[in-house]
Chain A
Amino acid sequence: NAGVMQNPRHLVRRRGQEARLRCSPVKGHSHVYWYRQLPEEGLKFMVYLQKENIIDESGMPKERFSAEFPKEGPSILRIQQVVRGDSAAYFCASSPPTVPDTQYFGPGTRLTVL
């Protein structure tokens, strides 16, 4: 079974550009979570999505960040007009629709903003 897939693994953007991070959950998992890990800091929750719905976005910055999990295809975390402070590792996790729903993480996308 394939685990959570994230691409790209490394992404370099210049200030002001857009970054698009993709996450393909484990087959059969209908819940996706995004977490961010800033350099030398802990993992912080950003957003929780189910297919076509954002359930909890309490950890998302109010501006420039958006996430989606369409009916078909991967979940996308989009960062518009990136700034140097967006440089971080972004991890996606997926979980099945069971209780409790154990989250399984992907390898992450490392975003570097020049």
Chain B
Amino acid sequence: GAGVSQSPSNKVTEKGKDVELRCDPISGHTALYWYRQRLGQGLEFLIYFQGNSAPDKSGLPSDRFSAERTGESVSTLTIQRTQQEDSAVYLCASSLSLGWNSPLHFGNGTRLTVT
């Protein structure tokens, strides 16, 4: 069965450009998360979507970051006017629902490098 798929796997962009990262969750998973991991750092929560509820955007570091999800399918994370500190691995995860009995299934991430 297909897992969580993220594209592209690697992205190099120039400072100031916009980038869009894509996540295809596991079919039927209502919850979708975005995290990022900077070099040498832990997993930093960015945003999550749960069904039709309003997304929890509390982890987005600035208004240059935004994310959308169409129903219970694909999500895109957009970073506008990228900065060098945005360089990180961006990880998407999905789960059947929220809670302890719905472990997150992660994709392999998109490695973003801002030059």
Is this pair of chains taken from one and the same complex? Answer: no
A residues at B contact (CB < 8 Å): none
B residues at A contact (CB < 8 Å): none
